Structure 1
Amino acid sequence: MRTLHDDRLPGLRRRGFLAATGAASLGTLALTGCGSPDAPGPGEGDGTPRRGGRLRAAFAGGGAGETLDPHLANLFVDVARAKALFDKLADYGPGLAAEPRLAAGWEANTAMDRWRVTLREAAFHDGKPVTAADVLHSYRRIADPRQAFRAKASLEPIDLDASRATGPRSIEFVLKRPTAEFPNVLAAFGAYVVPEHATRPDRDPVGSGPFRFVSFAPGRSAVVRRHDDYWDGAPYLDELEFVVANEESARVNALLAGQVEYAHELNPTTARAHENQGQIDIVRLRNSAMQAFAMKTDRPPFDDRRVRQAFFLIADRGELVEGALSGAGEIGNDLFGKGYEYYADGLPQREQDLGRARALLRQAGADDLRVTLDTSAVAAGFTEAASIFRDQARKAGVTVQVRTGSKDSYWSDILDSGTLACYRSGAMPIEAHLSQRLLTDSTTNATQWRHRDFDALYRQAQSTRDKAERAAVYQRMQRRLHSEGGFLVWGFADWIIGTARTVRGVERDAPANTLDWARFDKVWLG
């Protein structure tokens, strides 16, 4: 929610979002407040929530340049802080379908180019009601061409000049074209609602979320306190502190030492070492990150679909998951979004077939193929995956030269350059993946997949009111990608979190980037 995005590669992030970096350690921080009680309290054994206490959550951060402006949220810690303080009109459920939040509901006209959204009764932390004017102000702020707000591209289908408030809690959104999946726009990453009267949400964050602002030290810590009048029920915790610890070892050591109760983004080897050992609990969020190799379909050798099909058959997905992810994930089938709404799960699972791969390469005149595979330490498992695939390709007569790039510029470097690259994406709806990465005018088209007939299928889906018929169009698009697309999707990684044994209520069925990920208003201390 990986995939929480670089402006050019949604779903991917250079620092801390899908890959923790930096040199800050927890030892440099002044940790304050009380942790969980020394002795088990009421409700610890029976799962009954209890109120009280401060939970300290350690995340990788972004240094002194961090901000609480929710429209600038890019790192995981940014988003976790934003969802504690603010709300969106909708958010993504476990299957990546949009669910109402500040919106009580929505309804489209017959052409699906106008949507009426009704707001629920909710108030900001200063007591003022959330109104249609606040929503339109927020969306227009995000769309400001002078700003680089992350949700700008997601809001592009809305004609904000024509959209209007039809009542204090009613909005008519006028769209530039039919958009059947418009609720996904309302749930877009970073599309938070801020008050119309708030001029500096970065310094004085007044939201409608479950927690109220207390303090913020960029690159170090942020403290928020329970908002008793939250529309979705007051949080169980008295206070929540976000602690920045960039190194994974610092987050783990702080958790083991009782300095924090929640450690975000652990690597698979750490999880394996501590799972079922009695000191901490390991939470695995399944299907949180697509793992792939991106083949540029507009240039040799991958402009020949037979070469792409050969590479699909070279990959031993089980070996890649075991070796690059330490088994913390499941195999992919060359399609994004396994387990998500609209996923084409009826297609046969692709298996390694080196004989067939060699035959396809011979047909393409690529018997002695040599390619460069770009990778980087920007994300866990990338360099390992590159080495494993290099060895797999050698068995098919393909020479793969691994080139390791900079962590700071990797995502922008591979967007347009090179021919083959390690790639990862966080959770997002399949429709959003198609529109943002696989249409001719997509600005984050890492595989350079550009086909007008494919674009037309997307427009057909967005113009189709019946959901079953729309799903059939998405299935058709995915069948084509499975056959000849540019993403070799070899796996889906677990997102791994560590918690103290006293922490309760952490959702275990929510991929990262979804509503119930980092849902601290539903967490309590036993």
Structure 2
Amino acid sequence: MSLPLGPSRRARHHTPSDTQRRRTVQVAAVAAALALVTACGGGTTTAEKAPSSKGWATTTPGAAGNLDTAHWNLILEPTTLDPQQANNYGVNEVLANMCESLQTLNPDFSISDGLASLKVEDGGKRLVYSIDAKARFWDGQPVTGADAAFSLNRAWHPSAQQAPDYNQYFAAVSGIRATGPREVTVDLTRPDLLFRKMMATFAGAVVQARYSTAHPDYGKPSVPPMCSGPYTFKSWKTGSSLTLERNEHYWRGVTAKTRQVVFSFLQGDSSQTRALTGGGIEGMYQPPASALGRLGEHGKVYYGKSLLSFYLVPTAKSGPLRDPRIRQALFLALNRTAVARTAFGGAAVASRSMLPADVYGPVKATRSEGAGGSPEEIAQARKLVKEAGSPKGKIVLAGAPAISDSLTQTLQAVAEAARKIGLDAVYKPVTVGQFYELFSGPQGWRGTGADAFGSQWSLPVADPQALFSVWANPEDPSNYSQFADGAASKLIQQAGAEGDEGRRDGLLAEADKRLFDRMPWIPVVDVANVLYLNNSVTGPPASFVNWYYPWAQQLGATK
């Protein structure tokens, strides 16, 4: 499962039409991705087989041989092939092999040079990107500073027809300009280390300015972008397949072992499982969790390092969940290991911190020693409920059964845990439309009366600031409960303007401690990036970089 409703999918400033457009993209992702973690149906559970998160994989064994054609399934058909509007399953997984960014997000979540090397000036307030002299677009033209400036400005100031997927990361930017034939300079009002990392995502992707201006509708099935990556666009038959071909003139050198990648868009556990076990599809990220046991008999199932976490998200409705002690009590009472094993088919582990472990990097995380639901934790939870005045108000947990059993199972487990500690909590089934409305902003709860709902959050890079910034601002459209804590906000804002990495890490650690105490959202499980490969193929990364890293370049035959 993945609910791509994270900060990479929101805009700080948007019009109603922007909101509706963003939600349209999210809606498809919610329905398709939630189905991935359903642990019901055929196949055996893999909970006992799945390693702990410390053992989650970064890579897969390197390919030994070449492939003429690889068949790969996406959980969603792309909605566009415009990198500045790409922030979803399907589209990102394809574009990651076509379009390149100024920097590169590596399988271990580190950041390195991509199209350009970076020179930091003026105490971190000026970023000078020097584009590699060898870099070429598919048509053989050089990648220039003007191309980079055009692309970054487009991400910073999206048009009325363009979804504002990345502009929130440009909050500190005061100017972007080409300062040489192969140089682009970004001026900032303050140092912004998160912005630097985001240049490894499609916020920093570079398309050819001349081609893009001549083809303003590029990204549609008949009008691909002009990029520089290791694979080029061949065809897109909507509703059926999308095909990429190896770039035989790739500027870094042709190392891809697979000549052609054909993407299908099969939906539903049974259809996907038949194709995967029957050999019609060689690989897939986020395969059906209900079939992981069967898939393990036909190939390899990898649990990859991840930036994905599932939360119980309080709304802005007045009720018991407005009290942080009640939120803490639910965290303690919920057996999060059981949720990981049942609702997530073992492809998850109990959350013990506000963010997945791999997000923190050098930042010291505040962690829970327990995984929830133990007698000691239940006792602590009951004590917190009593300190909060033993509220009698009903806590409504909303979910849409039509989306998946996994969402239902998780919310039912939360309601049961709440009742064990003296709270009146119920799971309320709602329609898909009502469920989507919960993601429309702080007032989205009114249609259902929900006190909370479930959401999986995907971070674009391994940096706590990417989600802390949501909780620092009560007016942020993704701060659904309008959580406000002055001490945490001050620390987060200081970290956002700190150019020294060590001091910034210290500020983020302090903010994390404060947030863990206040618990704006209740972390439930950290979710693995699951990858299935049949026995004939290997090579792509297992970690959650398949949205921005050219994973197909490493795909090849096992022999």
TM-score range, shorter chain: 0.7 to 0.9
* Residue matched to 2:544: 511
* Residue matched to 2:350: 331
- Secondary structure of 1:15's match? helix
**Offset, 1:95:** 5.1
Q: Do structure 1's residue 393 and structure 2's residue 418 form an aligned pair?
A: yes
After the TM superposition, which residues 324-363 of structure 1 pair with which residues of structure 2 at under 5 Å, given as runs? 324-340=343-359, 341-345=361-365, 347-350=367-370, 351-352=372-373, 353-363=377-387
Contact 1:84–1:210, Cα closer than 8 Å, also in 2: yes
* Residue matched to 2:276: 255
1:355-393 superposed Cα distances (whole Å, 9 cap, x missing partner):
222222222222534200112354672111111122222
- Secondary structure of 2:358's match? coil
* Residue matched to 1:207: 227
**Offset, 1:524:** 0.6
When residues 94 and 156 of structure 1 are mapped into structure 2, their CA distance, relative to the original with a 3 A threshold, is: same
Q: Distance in 2 between matches of 1:379 and 1:447?
A: 24
Q: Distance in 2 between matches of 1:5 and 1:103?
A: 30
Q: Distance in 2 between matches of 1:18 and 1:103?
A: 37
Select between 290-299 and 321-330 the one with higher mean Cα deviation: 290-299
Q: Which runs of 5+ in 1 are unaligned?
A: 23-45
When residues 95 and 461 of structure 1 are mapped into structure 2, their CA distance, relative to the original with a 3 A threshold, is: farther
- Secondary structure of 2:28's match? coil
Q: Distance in 2 between matches of 1:424 and 1:397?
A: 27
When residues 185 and 176 of structure 1 are mapped into structure 2, their CA distance, relative to the original with a 3 A threshold, is: farther
**Offset, 1:155:** 4.1
Q: Which amino acid aligns with 1:423?
A: S
When residues 91 and 512 of structure 1 are mapped into structure 2, their CA distance, relative to the original with a 3 A threshold, is: same
- Secondary structure of 1:344's match? coil
Q: Which amino acid aligns with 2:419?
A: R
* Residue matched to 1:114: 126
When residues 430 and 298 of structure 1 are mapped into structure 2, their CA distance, relative to the original with a 3 A threshold, is: farther
Q: Distance in 2 between matches of 1:368 and 1:452?
A: 28
**Offset, 1:184:** 2.2
**Offset, 1:339:** 2.0
Contact 1:337–1:343, Cα closer than 8 Å, also in 2: no
Select between 297-306 and 417-426 the one with higher mean Cα deviation: 297-306
Q: Do structure 1's residue 55 and structure 2's residue 75 form an aligned pair?
A: no
Q: Which amino acid aligns with 2:237?
A: A
Q: Do structure 1's residue 149 and structure 2's residue 157 form an aligned pair?
A: no
**Offset, 1:298:** 7.2
When residues 130 and 252 of structure 1 are mapped into structure 2, their CA distance, relative to the original with a 3 A threshold, is: same
1:445-470 superposed Cα distances (whole Å, 9 cap, x missing partner):
13422234433212211232321211
Q: Do structure 1's residue 230 and structure 2's residue 250 form an aligned pair?
A: yes
* Residue matched to 1:404: 429
* Residue matched to 2:528: 494
Q: Which amino acid aligns with 2:438?
A: D
Q: Distance in 1 between matches of 2:473 and 2:192?
A: 15
Identity of aligned residues (%): 20
- Secondary structure of 1:105's match? strand
Q: Do structure 1's residue 290 and structure 2's residue 309 form an aligned pair?
A: yes
- Secondary structure of 2:300's match? strand
* Residue matched to 2:409: 384
* Residue matched to 2:555: 523
- Secondary structure of 1:181's match? helix
Contact 1:504–1:523, Cα closer than 8 Å, also in 2: yes
- Secondary structure of 2:192's match? coil
After the TM superposition, which residues 420-435 of structure 1 pair with which residues of structure 2 at under 5 Å, given as runs? 420-428=452-460, 429-435=463-469
Q: Distance in 2 between matches of 1:493 and 1:168?
A: 44
When residues 488 and 513 of structure 1 are mapped into structure 2, their CA distance, relative to the original with a 3 A threshold, is: farther
Q: Distance in 1 between matches of 2:148 and 2:237?
A: 28
Contact 2:3–2:33, Cα closer than 8 Å, also in 1: no
Q: 1:314 aligns with which of 310, 333, 353?
A: 333
* Residue matched to 1:37: none
- Secondary structure of 1:492's match? strand
- Secondary structure of 1:85's match? coil
Q: Do structure 1's residue 266 and structure 2's residue 287 form an aligned pair?
A: yes
When residues 326 and 459 of structure 1 are mapped into structure 2, their CA distance, relative to the original with a 3 A threshold, is: same
CA RMSD of aligned residues (A): 2.8
**Offset, 1:412:** 3.8
Contact 1:313–1:356, Cα closer than 8 Å, also in 2: yes
**Offset, 1:207:** 0.8
Q: Distance in 1 between matches of 2:211 and 2:418?
A: 56
- Secondary structure of 1:250's match? helix
Contact 2:10–2:165, Cα closer than 8 Å, also in 1: no
Contact 2:396–2:425, Cα closer than 8 Å, also in 1: yes
**Offset, 1:262:** 1.4
When residues 189 and 446 of structure 1 are mapped into structure 2, their CA distance, relative to the original with a 3 A threshold, is: farther
**Offset, 1:93:** 3.3
1:181-235 superposed Cα distances (whole Å, 9 cap, x missing partner):
3212313445421101113332032210111111111222111111123234321
When residues 349 and 145 of structure 1 are mapped into structure 2, their CA distance, relative to the original with a 3 A threshold, is: farther
* Residue matched to 2:101: 88
Q: Do structure 1's residue 281 and structure 2's residue 306 form an aligned pair?
A: no
Q: Which runs of 5+ in 2 are unaligned?
A: 12-21, 36-60
Contact 2:229–2:250, Cα closer than 8 Å, also in 1: yes
**Offset, 1:398:** 1.6
Select between 225-234 and 114-123 the one with higher mean Cα deviation: 225-234
Q: TM-score, normalised by structure 1?
A: 0.86
